[in-house]
């Protein structure tokens, strides 16, 4: 006897007449069971409908009796994970049927517990037959073959689990998180497995970054930032198959502010990995945000809210300037008045000897700020002149940007045409499937890059004029906006006006962006041309065009300087006492 003869039927006529193989099957009532895993559907050997199609051919050919059909999309690696399979087994035990038709034994089980249950029922005769397209297992057969096949299915699942974990670990080490990209990012959709990446979401990136910027100013609470992002900037979560496309929730924004994903790292199984995507914030900004939020992402309770705390430092010892409220009863009237006073905290090491011990009233401090702002305030006419000059001087540049945009559009159309040609070649059999996917991936990547360049040129062509206009808007009536604004408005103006605020001997020292200093310089020059006359009177006496021609050289210089020197919004250094004294 040869080594595998014990696996073969004793009656060799089965091989000469295939119909004899299923002769006993015609007296059995069957359940059909088709399954595919709920994970990795595209990797299944056959889909459920494909399995049923193959099984139906066998049923019609052999004229088998089918009682019911069970279809399930569940993993068989874990016992008791499939309700329909459990239901089928209970009905088999009750005698409603005594056979199973399935595509392969691994469709029935991939774990030893359920495999043993099926094998026991088969040996006891409760299951008379398990019919597969390529063979039949009967209760009177040797149990070894069924045991081998189910063991192979179980070992395949174990090996697959090890391989998947190893592949995922390698993916983490390369910097690709396993989860759905966070708000502000997108997952690419490449056909080539393992080539997907995380990229910036052009629709939401700048809005999410704005949320971090608002929190870093210290001028807004988290609920206020949430309202601004949802209502003012129109932030919506990414729409999905089931949920999404809605305003960001309060719990969602707290998760966003406390998620290290945004500064370029992610955690998996307690291990930190460095992300291979563009961080939205720096580590220092993330740490500062956690200090602002307090422990566990909850805002710290505050009994008093002051406009300028967290903004200034002492010019002597470098400690923070804080505020307090003092009450005093006026003897003449009996009125109880409340005063807000700012003073040095003297919290830094060696600050015990700080000589800055005087208190400064909030009214005095705001007067100092107003004096600083007034040096940079311009009239609305300045904005009209500046924008008129900007549009005239940079029309050629705008046209160049448009030419670059048109070139990218042409390139995009050509790549799309090449992709369509690839599809036609694949359908006609002109190229192999492997070559098709390789070429398609290359074209898809080129298309993404071309679209990104086009969007970049469009943004540059649009934003540079908007940036200039925003800078002009900031300086228009800045004193009135500060004096009449609420606490949040005052904080925002101070933050945009400069950084590194230092208070010493009731004097303010502020580092300002260079573009703002340019406004001060050319403002004085323009006023000198007209002898400090009102712009409206100039318009009345000389007309708009004549007035503009007088200041055109100055406005050209201003626009050039404002446009080429970026606005600085955050700094952390404090000038030394010698610098202040100088």
Same domain, yes or no: 253 and 287: yes
Residue 229 is predicted with a pLDDT of 92
Residue 459 falls inside a structural domain: no
Please give the residue range of the domain that contains residue 119. Answer: 5-162
Handedness of CA 226, 231, 235, 239 (dihedral sign): positive
Handedness of CA 308, 309, 311, 315 (dihedral sign): positive
Q: List average pLDDT for each run of 10 residues in the chain, which is 582 residues long.
A: 38 43 64 76 61 85 89 83 90 91 84 85 87 82 71 63 60 70 83 71 91 86 91 87 83 90 82 82 85 58 71 89 83 78 86 85 92 83 74 69 84 88 84 85 83 78 71 84 88 88 90 80 67 48 53 67 47 39 40
Distance CA 558, CA 517 (A): 10
SS3 336: strand
- Quote the strand ranges of 142-292, DSSP E: 185-187, 198-200, 265-268, 271-274
Distance CA 110, CA 149 (A): 10
Written as six digits, the tokens of 24 are 């006993």
Same domain, yes or no: 113 and 148: yes
Same domain, yes or no: 195 and 149: no
- Quote the strand ranges of 345-448, DSSP E: 360-361
CATH no. for residue 204? 3.90.1750.20
Residue 509 falls inside a structural domain: no
pTM here is 0.40
CATH no. for residue 82? 3.40.50.1390
Same domain, yes or no: 19 and 102: yes
Residue 89 falls inside a structural domain: yes
Distance CA 302, CA 11 (A): 90
Written as six digits, the tokens of 321 are 């300037």
Residue 390 falls inside a structural domain: no
Same domain, yes or no: 70 and 156: yes
Residues in the chain: 582
Residue 502 is predicted with a pLDDT of 92
Q: What angle do CA 27, 32, 33 make, to 5 degrees?
A: 140
Residue 568 is predicted with a pLDDT of 35
Same domain, yes or no: 190 and 154: no
Same domain, yes or no: 329 and 275: no
Distance CA 155, CA 77 (A): 10
Residue 307 falls inside a structural domain: no
> What's the Cα-to-Cα distance from 271 to each of 101, 258, 274, rounded to whole Å?
46, 17, 10
Same domain, yes or no: 9 and 140: yes
Residue 548 falls inside a structural domain: no
Which of these three, 236, 262, 297, is where a domain ends? 297
3-state secondary structure 433-453: HHHHHHHHHHHHHHHHHHHHH
**DSSP class of residue 308?**
S
Residue 41 falls inside a structural domain: yes
Neighbour count for residue 286 (Cβ, 10 Å): 20
Residue 582 is predicted with a pLDDT of 39
Q: Which residue has the tokens 């566990």?
A: 296
Same domain, yes or no: 141 and 206: no
> What's the Cα-to-Cα distance from 118 to each of 149, 150, 571, rounded to whole Å?
13, 10, 71
Same domain, yes or no: 69 and 130: yes
Same domain, yes or no: 148 and 195: no
Distance CA 253, CA 238 (A): 14
- DSSP one-letter string for 46-58: S-HHHHHHHHHHH
| Structural domain total, the chain | 3
Neighbour count for residue 64 (Cβ, 10 Å): 21
Residue 323 falls inside a structural domain: yes
SS3 153: helix
Q: What angle do CA 58, 64, 66 make, to 5 degrees?
A: 105
Same domain, yes or no: 96 and 234: no
Written as six digits, the tokens of 526 are 């323009």
């Amino acid at each position: 006897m040869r080594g595998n003869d014990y696996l073969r039927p004793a009656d060799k006529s089965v091989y000469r007449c295939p119909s004899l193989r299923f002769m006993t099957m015609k007296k059995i009532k069957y359940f059909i069971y088709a399954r595919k895993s709920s994970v990795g559907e595209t990797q299944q050997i056959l889909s459920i409908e494909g399995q049923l199609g193959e099984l139906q051919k066998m049923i019609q050919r052999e004229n088998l009796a089918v009682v019911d059909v069970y279809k399930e999309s569940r993993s068989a690696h874990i016992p008791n994970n499939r309700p329909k399979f459990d239901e089928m087994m209970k009905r088999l035990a009750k005698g409603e049927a005594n056979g199973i038709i399935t595509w392969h034994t691994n469709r029935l089980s991939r774990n030893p517990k359920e495999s043993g249950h099926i094998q026991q029922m088969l040996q006891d005769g409760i299951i008379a037959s398990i019919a597969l397209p390529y063979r039949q297992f009967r209760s009177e057969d040797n149990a070894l073959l069924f045991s081998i096949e189910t063991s192979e299915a179980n070992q395949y699942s174990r090996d697959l689990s090890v391989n998947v974990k190893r592949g995922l670990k390698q993916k983490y080490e390369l910097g690709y998180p396993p989860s759905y990209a966070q708000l502000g990012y997108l997952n690419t959709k490449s056909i080539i497995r393992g080539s997907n990446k995380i990229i910036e979401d052009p629709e939401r990136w700048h809005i999410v970054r704005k949320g971090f910027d608002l929190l870093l100013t210290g001028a807004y609470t988290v609920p206020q930032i949430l309202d601004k992002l949802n209502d003012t900037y129109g932030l919506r979560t990414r729409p999905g198959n089931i949920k999404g496309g809605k305003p960001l929730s309060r719990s969602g924004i707290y998760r966003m502010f406390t998620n290290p994903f945004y500064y370029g790292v992610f955690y998996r199984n307690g291990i930190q990995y460095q992300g291979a995507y563009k961080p939205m914030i720096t580590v220092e900004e993330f740490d500062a945000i956690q200090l602002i939020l307090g422990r566990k992402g909850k805002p710290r309770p505050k009994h008093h809210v002051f406009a300028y705390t967290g903004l200034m430092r002492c010019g002597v010892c470098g400690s923070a300037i804080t505020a307090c409220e003092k009450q005093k009863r006026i003897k003449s009237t009996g009125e109880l008045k409340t005063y807000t006073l700012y003073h040095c905290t003297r919290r830094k090491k060696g600050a015990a000897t700080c000589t800055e011990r005087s208190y400064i009233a909030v009214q005095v401090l705001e007067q100092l700020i107003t004096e600083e702002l007034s040096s940079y305030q311009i009239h609305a006419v300045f904005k009209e002149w500046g924008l008129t000059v900007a549009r005239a001087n940079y029309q050629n540049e705008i046209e160049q940007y448009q030419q670059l945009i048109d070139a990218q559009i042409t390139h995009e159309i050509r790549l799309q045409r090449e992709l369509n040609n690839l599809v036609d070649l694949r359908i006609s059999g002109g190229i192999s499937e492997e070559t098709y996917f390789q070429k398609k991936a290359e074209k898809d990547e080129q298309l993404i890059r071309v679209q990104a360049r086009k969007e970049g040129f469009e943004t540059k062509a649009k934003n540079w004029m908007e940036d200039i206009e925003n800078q002009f808007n900031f300086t228009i009536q800045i004193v009135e906006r500060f004096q009449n604004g609420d606490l949040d408005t005052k904080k925002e103006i101070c933050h945009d006006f400069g950084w590194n605020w230092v208070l010493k001997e009731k004097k303010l020292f502020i580092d300002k962006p260079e573009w703002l200093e340019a406004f001060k310089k050319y403002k004085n020059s323009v006023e000198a041309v007209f002898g400090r006359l009102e712009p409206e009177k100039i318009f009345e006496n000389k007309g708009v065009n004549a007035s503009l021609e007088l200041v055109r050289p100055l406005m050209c210089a201003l626009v050039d300087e404002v446009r080429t020197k970026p606005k600085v919004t955050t700094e952390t250094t404090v000038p030394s006492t010698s610098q202040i004294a100088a």
